[in-house]
């Protein structure tokens, strides 16, 4: 068995991370947060004020739209969950820039690129379409957007490759969509 590590680069403020592991859920108590001066267990990072105690995620599972809401994950009991669940995205607030290490989770190499036209989508029925066909079928809305820290006025369109360790936004017109990467 490989001991994979996912290292997530954080900026000060809100960060969106995706969590996907093969059949595994992850407790926050196993996470390690490292900033420019210290390395902390999750509980110690919270106690030191380096990160907020909880992560939030949007629960779209209820059939009724009015029952869908944001929920919270924390190592502290009393929140909605204590584990990161595979195939979910989480918002986390960092009070300082740094790295979050999630052991046992796959990741990507720094400075890797990927041609966005090789992305595929799968809908709730299992049907798959490439990104252009998914846009034509109104599953998603192109272009892909990203936050450009140089142009802080708004989001920029992706014109070439996707880069590892950057966040991207794709508007979905459908519920229960899965983004697939063709290797």
Give the integer Cα–Cα distance in Å for 1 and 4.
9
Residue 5: is its pLDDT beyond 50? Answer: no
Q: How confident is the model at residue 4 (pLDDT cuts 50, 70, 90)?
A: very low
Residue 64: is its pLDDT beyond 80? Answer: yes
| Alpha-carbon Rg for the chain in angstroms | 17
Tens digit of each residue's pLDDT (9 = 90 or more) over 133-152: 999 999 999 999 887 666 66
The pair of structure tokens assigned to 157 is 């369109």
Q: How confident is the model at residue 2 (pLDDT cuts 50, 70, 90)?
A: very low
The pair of structure tokens assigned to 144 is 């892909």
CA 54 to each of CA 58, 79, 90, 154, 170: distance values in angstroms, whole numbers, following the listed order = 13, 8, 10, 27, 25
Tens digit of each residue's pLDDT (9 = 90 or more) over 14-45: 887 777 666 567 788 888 888 888 899 989 99
Q: Could you tell me which residues come within 8 angstroms of residue 31 by beta carbon, excluding any fewer than 6 positions away?
A: 41, 42, 100, 101, 102
The pLDDT value given to residue 183: 58
Cβ(138)–Cβ(37) below 8 Å: no
């Amino acid at each position: 068995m490989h001991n994979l590590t996912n290292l997530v680069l954080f900026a000060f403020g809100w960060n969106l991370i995706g969590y996907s592991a093969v059949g595994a859920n992850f407790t926050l108590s196993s996470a390690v947060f490292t900033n420019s001066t210290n390395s902390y267990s999750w509980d110690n990072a919270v106690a030191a004020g380096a990160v907020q105690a909880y992560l939030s995620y949007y629960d779209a599972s209820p059939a009724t739209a009015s029952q869908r809401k944001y929920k919270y994950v924390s190592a502290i009991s009393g929140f909605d969950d204590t584990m990161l669940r595979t195939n979910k995205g989480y918002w986390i607030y960092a009070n300082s820039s740094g790295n979050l290490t999630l052991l046992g989770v796959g990741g990507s190499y720094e400075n890797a690129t990927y041609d966005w036209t090789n992305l595929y989508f799968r809908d709730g029925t299992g049907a798959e379409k490439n990104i252009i066909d998914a846009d034509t079928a109104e599953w998603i809305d192109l272009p892909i957007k990203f936050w450009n820290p140089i142009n802080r006025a708004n989001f920029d369109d992706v014109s070439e490759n996707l880069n590892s360790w950057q966040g991207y936004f794709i508007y979905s017109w459908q519920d229960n969509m899965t983004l697939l990467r063709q290797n």
